[in-house]
Amino acid sequence: MPVSLRPRLRAAAFAAAVGFVAGCGSAEAPTAPSAAPPSSAAPDYAATLQPKLEQLVRDMSVTGAVVLVRTPDRGDWTTTIGTGTYRGNDPVQVADHIRVGSNTKTWTGTVILQLVGEGRLRLTDPVATYRPDVPNGANITIEQLLNMRSGLYNYTESLELNQALDNDPGRAWTPEELVQLGLSRPPYFPPGTDYHYSNTNTVLLGLIAEKVTGHPLREEFRTRIVEPLGLTGTEFPDTTSTAIADPHPQGYTYGTNVETIDSLVLPPEVQAAAKAGTLAPMDVTSVNPSWAWSAGAGISTAQDMARYVEALVGGELLPPEIQRQRLASVVPIDPGNPQSAAYGLALARFGSLYGHTGELPGFNSFMGHDPDKKITVVTWTSLAPAPDGRGPAVELAKAVIGELYG
């Protein structure tokens, strides 16, 4: 059976992640014997959080995890749980590189908004100006691509892509191939009338950024984000690359793409075997992430993610007026439900924290920053999703946020 992967950038998974804040509390649990307890120099909240996080890691069959917290008044804290390989001996490291999935969307959105600030495009520009092949593109704006209200079909929901990923996980996909998959299906709704999380939107934005600048998107990320912020562990790989810089953990997953199109939850017997350790996960570390491109192929570290999300939310990357517009754009995706997931111009909100989540097969990550309280939370795991369908890094973030915000 070929190594398989799941394109975990779908609408349901993301909505569950960004809508988590109402249930931030976590039950007390015994300390994992394989992990060292917080040192005496650790902040007060660490002693409470460490056992909760270790229990979550056990419950979700996670191989390795990193949690990073920065607070101005309660102290900073970083902890690692688990190992870099399944049943291995070497612990994961804070400096490990991982695939950050849909957190990459914020990079793409930032470049687009920088171009808006430079007067090289406008949020009200119709997509047809740059991509005449987009159906109804004269009525879809750049803004609607950014805030997921274009109605364009999400190509990662297609059976065709999922079958291809199961059968040929090393395939290098071109952005044009991804766009054509998205444009070949009917839209979900007329532009601007509803919300649907769609990677087709972000791939189109990446191609538009290349057209406007005349440079590869990888170069724009480097010159506009990576180098100005000093992100030494962050990169956007070429579509032919399956490599991750050292050090890095191995990334693991269970199941196949086709099996999980409709639900991330695996059958009870599979969940039980995974938890008992009688079913080993698949190593998908070196699967080609080009199918996610500008919507999710980025690589980073916990420290870089913290530095980046603070700059992203704190206004270091955009002119002040556009930054204010970006933060104000993050609104509940269901106008009738203020507690629903909140999304805006390639940016999400989790309670008081702005940021994003990301998931590729084998890796789940969360980054958030509270611009008022100056709290930053970054989590990642080297298994995604959990056998019970949860995003492991998101669950860790829920526990941290619940403790910090009471």
- What is the band of 37 on the pLDDT scale with cuts at 50, 70, 90? very low
Distances (CA, A) of 219 to 228, 276, 313: 13, 45, 22
Contact 107, 346 (CB under 8 A): no
Distance CA 378, CA 306 (A): 6
Model-level pTM? 0.92
The owner of tokens 């972000």 is: 202
pLDDT at 252: 97
Distance CA 241, CA 238 (A): 5
3-7, 130-134, 184-188, 305-309: segment of lowest average pLDDT = 3-7
Within 10 Å of residue 190's Cβ, how many Cβ atoms? 12
Contact 366, 349 (CB under 8 A): no
- What is the sign of the dihedral through the CA atoms of 155, 344, 143 and 121? negative
Taking only the tens place, the pLDDT of each residue in 236-277 is 999 999 999 999 999 999 977 888 788 889 999 999 999 999
Chain centroid to CA 257: 18
Distance, first Cα to last Cα, the chain:
47
Quick check: 23 pLDDT over 70? no
Contact 382, 392 (CB under 8 A): no
Joined together, the tokens standing for residue 362 give 């084998």
Instruction: Enumerate the domain spans of the chain.
Output: 11-405
The partner residues of 68 in beta bridges, in order of sequence, read 78, 378
Quick check: 285 pLDDT over 90? yes
- Kindly report the CATH class assigned to 11-405: alpha beta
Contact 80, 92 (CB under 8 A): yes
pLDDT at 33: 33
pLDDT at 26: 32
Average pLDDT, the chain: 91
- What is the band of 14 on the pLDDT scale with cuts at 50, 70, 90? low
Joined together, the tokens standing for residue 85 give 């390989």
Quick check: 49 pLDDT over 90? yes
Quick check: 39 pLDDT over 50? no
Q: What percent of the chain clears pLDDT 90, i.e. is strictly above it?
A: 84
